[in-house]
Amino acid sequence: MFRVVKRYRTARHLPLAAAAAAGAVLLGAGPAAAHVEVESDKAQALAEHVEIAFDAESESDTAGITQIRVVLPEGIAPADVTYGEGPQGWQFSANADGYTVKGPALKTGVDAAYSVVVRQLPDTSKLAFKTLQTYADGRTDRWIELDENGENPAPTLRLKAAAPGAKPVAPSPTATPSASAAPAPAAEGTAASPSPRAAGAEKDDDGLSAGVWAGIVAVVLAVAAAVAVFVRRRGGDEG
């Protein structure tokens, strides 16, 4: 903190005070400190089974952290992430675009430190993990800016170049199958769900179901029977 310059100081002291203030401004203009830190001992492109540690700093004086929600960067699927370790009682769950770790509120002022294991890192130079940090009182800090000099920067992990010969692994077998994938066979001893055809919604080549055709035939037969009865009665009247 700068002291207030007293009025009786001579003019020659003013340039020195101005220079000191300018220096302080320049020093404070550096990159904003990330409030969720991320690090890994295997921060290398295409590295496999990589443990990544996160440390979400507590910034509330009145409530503890209860949840960390992360949007994964491109190249990492939720199915390829498993829980490492974290606060006691916290649990991990995958989302459509990332994951959530949450549990009982931590003590006020205590950081939320946890780790995840990624099946394989993508072939890139850095990974930004957009993070939503929620407190017991409902407050949410959004560390989502991709600009590392922003006010709310996302935690970013820088990667070394891939090792010689490293290649991407096959997609995780637990990943959600694409729409073009064949349906999984029913388990032995379990009846498969009936298809539309098995449920009586069979359709012939003209697009009508068997039930509709049966109805049409029944109507035609009923009409024919009525006509036959009418012809017989009329013939009897004329005789």
* Residue 127, phi then psi, degrees to nearest 5: -130, 125
Q: What is the pLDDT along the chain (239 residues), one digit of tens a residue?
A: 333 333 334 344 434 444 444 443 333 333 345 489 999 999 999 999 999 999 999 999 999 999 999 999 999 999 999 999 999 999 999 999 999 999 999 999 999 999 999 999 999 999 999 999 999 999 999 999 999 889 999 999 999 999 999 999 987 765 543 333 333 333 333 334 444 343 443 444 444 555 545 666 665 676 666 666 565 665 555 55
d(CA 208, CA 213): 7
| Cα angle 104, 109, 113; round to 5 | 60
Q: Which pairs count as long-range contacts for 95-100, CB under 8 Å and 24+ apart, including other chains?
A: 95/69, 97/71, 97/72, 98/69, 98/70, 98/71, 98/72, 98/130, 99/69, 99/70, 99/72, 100/67, 100/68, 100/69, 100/70
- Both structure tokens of 79: 């199915």
Question: What are the tens digits of pLDDT across the range 46-57?
Answer: 999 999 999 999
d(CA 23, CA 16): 11
The terminus-to-terminus CA distance of the chain in angstroms comes to 127
Residue 196: per-residue pLDDT: 38
Contact 114, 84 (CB under 8 A): yes
Residue 224: per-residue pLDDT: 67
Residue 147: per-residue pLDDT: 93
Residue type, position 186, single letter? A
Q: Torsion-angle region of residue 230: left (phi > 0), alpha (psi -120 to 50) or beta?
A: alpha
109 Cβ contact partners less than 8 Å away, ≥ 6 residues apart: 58, 60, 61, 64
d(CA 190, CA 170): 30
| Cα angle 226, 231, 233; round to 5 | 95
d(CA 111, CA 159): 25
Residue 172: per-residue pLDDT: 75
pTM above 0.75, yes or no: no
Nearest of 120, 119, 114 to residue 101 by alpha carbon: 114
Residue 129: per-residue pLDDT: 98
